[in-house]
Chains A and B, each alone.
Chain A
Amino acid sequence: MSLEELTAEEIECILRQASKFKDEISHPKRQTDYLKGKRVVNLFLEPSTRTRIAFEIAAKSLCADVISISGKSSSLTKGETLKDTALNVQALGADLIVVRHSSPGSPLFLSRTIDVPIINAGDGAHEHPSQGLLDIFTLRENIGSLVGKKITILGDILFSRVARSNLWGLKKLGAEVTLAGPSTLVPRQFEAMGARVSHDLRESLADADAVMLLRIQHERQSSSHFPSLSEYTKMFGLNAARSKWLKPSALILHPGPINRGVEIDSELADSERAVILDQVKNGIAVRMAILYLCAQSAGGLRKND
């Protein structure tokens, strides 16, 4: 459901499992058919490409049967409620349901409605736990333990589920998190969630071990939170000159999709310090771990040791 509700130990457990799967899938001969005969339904009621595909590949890598339902092809366009759609998916024999929805809390609502384990693949501006986990996985691969590390998340924090999941997860593993961006998108109230809030780009980059950029989600901003994209880029976009404010070793992450030339310069996105494509790759192993562990806790799986 969320990284807010997980303990550090539970996060470690998922990351360990992901690491095993990453190993196994790199050896083509190794069998990873732990979900053979299980039916995984991807219920994607909001447009998504990379998360949906990553979950599909993850489920297929575990030899599960995968069915993907997207917003446009579902009965919701015919007036069926989310509750009824989920009851139908349950009746059709789903063993796991992966849900993406624009309404915050809808995976939780579904988990109270049906008995099938629900995996949150992003719910509005609430959380995106699998993205948070793969970001943390990628960070740890590159900079080791997160205890005492300084991570800056820069951009549209207000509307970002990725920022919230990362904030909870990173804090639990001992990192210090700074949320940065324009004051209208990074309200001070985030301090109540344990973050440091900064509206000064230079200061927020200065001692970061990694900076995580977020896409400016123009489609989510119901009113004008900043004057224009070009003003945003001028004030908060990361470019080659500003990257000098970063420590030489600092990493750049981005959950995608990237708006090149808006929140990040094209060359910087392709540079050595950017681990954006590692994130995508790691997304498979992390989601395999999530699917596997959820199915395991629901019962009836052979063990992967």
Chain B
Amino acid sequence: MTDYCIKGARLIDPSQELDEICDLTVANGRVTFASPDASVELLDCSGKIIMPGMVDIRGHLQEPETLSSASDAAASGGYTTILIMPNSGPPADNPGAVHLMREKASKDTNIEILQCGCLTKASEGEVLAPLGSLKEAGVVAVSDCPSSPQNTEIFARGLEYASMFDLPVIEFPRDLAISSSGVAHDGPVALKMGIGGYPRMAEELFVQRAITVCRNLGAKVHLTSISSAGSVELIREAKGRGISVTADSTPHHLALTDECLLGYDSNSKTMPPLREELDRKAIMEGIKDGTIDCISSAHEPCHKHEKEVEFDLAPAGVTGYETALSVVLGELAKNMDDPFPLITKLMSLNPSRILEVDNTIAEGRMANLFVFDPNSNWRYKASQGRSAAKNSPYEGFDMKGSVMMTFSNGKRVFNLI
């Protein structure tokens, strides 16, 4: 194993409140700040940034993506840990399915792939999945994303039962009764296009449900993919009252609005749908004041032929691993001079705390980190990406900053230097 000394980069690790220029060596896969010996490959990285590996909290792994293409794509985007939602392949609602997935992941991937189990059987929302057995089989969280148990009793029991195992529940807040036919945000754009609306209310009602259940049962929940301004407000208020709720939003909801849909571009169909400028702004405010804890990639691969159909029939979903960091940086850079400390919190520290992953950059620890060049801009072309899926609304977009090198569990898994 070659050892590398990353010289002169800015190291940011919010878990230790570290932010300084230093020389960091990865020797035998472990981090050291000692002077490197002669055999080490020296890399001049002045002007670049070392950050703890990013941790993703919502990704789906359906066709055409494979474990290996997903892990390559994620590594090139700065991720060293990704959580796979339980609807990727056979539902992860039994220990066998979890074992199978974990066995495949240990062979085909070079980053840490974590499995999220189902909260209910087949994520159908009717009967709780065997959460204790799932945890023993290795799941680190449970969720029915991109659905949600519509029956509030099941949801509340699930939260209560999962808390016994300290198993985080990731809730995708969606009231199906008022959003089942919705393919776009219920607003002027959808009205003009004549397409079915998925109103903010569908999300906000279930955000409120989750908050109320947590308050009454003393349970905790993580709300994923927040898209509406009203949800941000509800979460802010709940946090103010000390209720154990955390939340993430996605790069798409931070950067795009439903105006993207105007040409009936099915690659801009996301779940939840893109909303209006006021929602986008509220999410930005929520990120800045800590209401929104994390940004998840919402990586949702689709085949090209699946998207090349009538707009309302096309599946929702956008690939996310390769563009997440640059998209978030592009938006945050418009709002603050130095967005990097916040980005490391949103995309590494906070999700790592929810999933209990330790990506601290410290003497003797295995290297889970990446080198980022904030000045290397690029143009996104899906065809050149590492993900096997090409369904992205960012085709041709100018992207800010590039991941140059990623180490996962001590191994260099991506390199552009």
> Does the CB pair B181–A105 fall under 8 Å?
no
The answer to whether B181 touches A81 (Cβ under 8 A) is no
Contact check, B309 vs A81: say whether CB atoms are below 8 A apart: yes
Give bound CA distance, A46 to B248, whole Å: 41
Most A Cβ at <10 Å: residue of B181, B263, B311: B311
Task: Scan A88-117; emit 1 where CB is below 8 A from any B CB, else 0.
Answer: 000000000000010111101100010000
Give chain A nearest CB distance to B275 CB in angstroms. Answer: 14
Interface string of A161-194 (1 = CB under 8 A from B): 1001000000000000000000000010110110
B192 part of interface (Cβ distance < 8 Å): yes
- Docked Cα-Cα span, A222 to B181, in Å, equals 8
* Residues in chain B near residue A164, CB distance under 8 A: 192, 194
The answer to the question of A125 belonging to the interface, with a C-beta cut-off of 8 Å to chain B, is yes
| A window 268-282: CB within 8 A of B | none
Which chain B positions have C-beta within 8 A of A109? 264, 310-311
Q: Are B263 and A108 in contact (CB under 8 A)?
A: yes
Report chain A residues within 8 Å CB of B193.
104-105, 126
Least Cβ–Cβ distance between B239 and chain A, in angstroms: 31
Convert B261-279 into 0s and 1s, putting 1 for each residue whose CB lies closer than 8 angstroms to a CB of A.
Answer: 0011000000000000000
Question: Residue A127 at the B interface, CB < 8 A?
Answer: yes
Which residues on A sit within 8 Å (CB–CB) of B305? 81
Determine if A69 is an interface residue (Cβ-Cβ < 8 Å): no
Residues on B with C-beta less than 8 A from A104 are 193-195, 264, 311-312
B196 an interface residue at 8 Å Cβ cutoff?
yes
Given contacts A189-B187, A193-B188, contact A222 B196 (CB under 8 A): yes
Whether A123 is near chain B, meaning CB under 8 Å from some CB there, is yes
Contact A106:B191 (CB < 8 A) given known A81-B305, A222-B181, A222-B196: no
Contacts of A4 in B (CB 8 A): 192
Q: Which residues of B sit under 8 angstroms from A201, Cβ to Cβ? A: none
CB within 8 Å: A-B pair count:
61
Interface status of B308 (Cβ within 8 A of chain A): yes
Q: Is A83 in contact with chain B by the CB < 8 A criterion?
A: yes
Is B333 in the interface zone, CB < 8 Å from A? no
Closest to A125 in B: B194
Indicate the size class of the contact surface on chain B: 10 to 19
Residue of A nearest to B181 (CB): A222
Contact status of A103 and B308, CB under 8 A, knowing A190-B191, A193-B188? no
A124 at the interface (CB under 8 A from B): yes
Taking a contact as CB atoms under 8 Å apart, the answer to whether B191 and A189 are in contact is: yes
B385 to chain A minimum Cβ distance, whole angstroms, is 22
Within residues 191 to 229 of chain B, which ones have a CB less than 8 A from any CB in chain A?
A: 191-196
CB <8 Å contact, A101 and B194: no
Mask, B291-313, CB within 8 Å of A = 1, is 00000000000000100111111
A293: CB under 8 A from chain B? no
Instruction: Kindly state whether residue A82 has any CB partner on chain B within 8 Å.
Output: yes
Residue numbers in A under 8 Å from B312 (CB-CB): 103-105, 124
Instruction: Enumerate chain B residues within 8 angstroms of A81, measured Cβ to Cβ.
Output: 305, 308-309
* Complexed CA–CA distance, A103 and B310 (Å): 6
Residues of B within 8 A of A161 (CB): 194
The residue in chain A whose Cβ has the minimal distance to the Cβ of B192 is: A193
The listed residue (B188, B194, B309) touching A192 by CB distance below 8 A is B188
Residue of A nearest to B262 (CB): A105
A163: nearest chain-B partner, CB-CB: B194
**By the criterion CB–CB under 8 Å, are A103 and B181 in contact?**
no
One digit per residue, 1 when the CB lies within 8 angstroms of any chain B CB and 0 when it does not, for chain A 62-87 equals: 00000000000000000001110000
- List of A residues within 8 angstroms of B180 by Cβ: 222
Residues 14-55 of chain B, each 1 if its beta carbon lies under 8 Å from chain A, else 0 = 000000000000000000000000000000000000000000
> Which residues from B are CB-within-8-Å of A193?
188, 191-192
Alpha-carbon separation in the docked complex, A4 to B264 (Å)? 15
In the assembled complex, the Cα of A164 lies from the Cα of B313 at a distance in Å of 22
Please give me the residue from chain A that is nearest to B309 by CB atom. Answer: A81
In the complex, chain B residues whose CB is within 8 Å of the CB of A126: 193-195
Q: Are B191 and A187 in contact (CB under 8 A)?
A: yes
14 examples of A-B residue contacts, CB within 8 angstroms: A104-B193, A104-B195, A104-B311, A105-B193, A105-B195, A105-B264, A105-B311, A105-B312, A109-B311, A127-B194, A158-B191, A161-B194, A189-B188, A193-B192
Q: List the 5 shortest-distance A-B pairs measured between CB atoms, nearest first.
A: A105-B264, A125-B194, A103-B310, A126-B194, A192-B188
